[in-house]
Structure formats: structure tokens, C-alpha cells
Structure 1
Amino acid sequence: MLRYTLMRLGIFVGCLVVVWGLVYSGLAPRGLGDSNGLWIVTLALLFSAPISFVVLRKERDRASVQVVQRVDRMKATMEANRSQEDSADDTSRAQGQAS
């Protein structure tokens, strides 16, 4: 998961550098008024999203498998805890009725 996040961040930073270069060289519009920084970040996000979607497909699939495995482990742990609580409750009720 961390690897996917870092790869995605790397693609964004690469796009940010390219967009910054295009804006400051005059090949891309500068934005409106004082919004130049926000404009550059927005354009970088706009370009990096589809690139990440295509380039990181395999890595995204690996990350999703890890997330599913983690969720399954958490569900199994919760179910084990629940069954222990039910067992303890049943035992205490049986002892209370036997007295």
C-alpha cells in the first residue's frame, strides 16, 4: 500500500514539475490573478490522475488485495472475540442456573 502511494505521489510530483515548466515558459496559461499556484497544482492533479490510473493498474490491484486480506483478518479476529464472549456468557449463565 505504501509503495502504491509513493508511486502515485511520484507521478504527481513529475506532473507538477512539467506543468510548472510549461506555465512559466508561457506554453500553458498562467491562471487568473493570484491563483497561479493553485492553477499549477490543479493542472498537475488533472494530468496525474489518468496517468496513475493506467500506469499503476497492477500496483493498485496488489494494494487492493492487501486491503482485502487485512479486512478479512480483522473480521476473523472480531468473530473470534465475539464467539469467546458468547462462550463466556453461556458458561456464566449455566453456572448461575446450577446454583
Structure 2
Amino acid sequence: MLRYTLMRLGIFAGCLVVVWGLVYSGLAPRGLGSSNGLWVVLLALLLSAPISFVVLRKERDRASVQIVQRVDRMKANLEANRSQEDAADDTSRAQGQAS
């Protein structure tokens, strides 16, 4: 998951540099008034999102498999704890009735 996030940030940083160069060279519009910095960031986000979607498809699939495995392990642990608690409760109730 960390690898995917870092790769995504790298793509955004690359797009940010390219957009910044285009805006300050005059090839892309500069935005309105003093909103130039925000304009550059928004354009970089707009460009990096579809690039990341296409380029990082395999890495995103790997990350989702890891997340599903982690969730399945957590569910199994919760179920094991629940069954242990049920067994302990049943044992204590049985001992209480025998007394």
C-alpha cells in the first residue's frame, strides 16, 4: 500500500513540475488573479489522476489483494476471540449451575 501511495505521489509531483513549467512559460493559462499556485496544483491533480489510474493498475490490484487478506485475517481473529469468549461463558455458566 505504501508503495502505491509513493508511486502516486511521484506521478503527481511529475505532473506538478510539468504544469508549473507550462504555466510559467505561458503555454498554459495562468489562472485568475492571485490564484496561480492553486491553479497549478489543480491542473496537476487533474492530469495525474487518469495517468495514475492507467499506469498503476497492477500496483493498485496488488494493494487491494493485500487489504482483502488483512481484512480476512482480522475477521478470522475476531471470530476466534468470539468463540473463545462463548466457550468461557458456557463453562462458567455450567459451573455456576452445578454449585
Task: Give the TM-score normalised by the residue count of structure 1.
Answer: 0.99
Give unmatched runs, 5+ long, in structure 2. Answer: none
- Please report how far the alpha carbon of residue 91 of structure 1 lies from its aligned counterpart in structure 2 after TM superposition: 0.4
Aligned mates of 2:60, 2:32 — CA distance in 1 = 36
Deviations 1:6-39 (A, max 9, x none): 0000000000000000000000001111111110
Deviations 1:27-76 (A, max 9, x none): 00011111111100000000000000000000000000000000000001
1:1-12 superposed matches below 5 A: 1-12=1-12
Aligned mates of 2:35, 2:95 — CA distance in 1 = 72
Structure 1 stretches of at least 4 aligned residues deviating more than 3 Å after TM superposition: none
Matched residues, number: 99
Aligned mates of 2:34, 2:78 — CA distance in 1 = 52
Give unmatched runs, 5+ long, in structure 1. Answer: none
- Percent identity over the alignment is 91
Task: Give the TM-score normalised by the residue count of structure 2.
Answer: 0.99
Aligned mates of 1:60, 1:11 — CA distance in 2 = 14
Aligned mates of 2:4, 2:28 — CA distance in 1 = 29
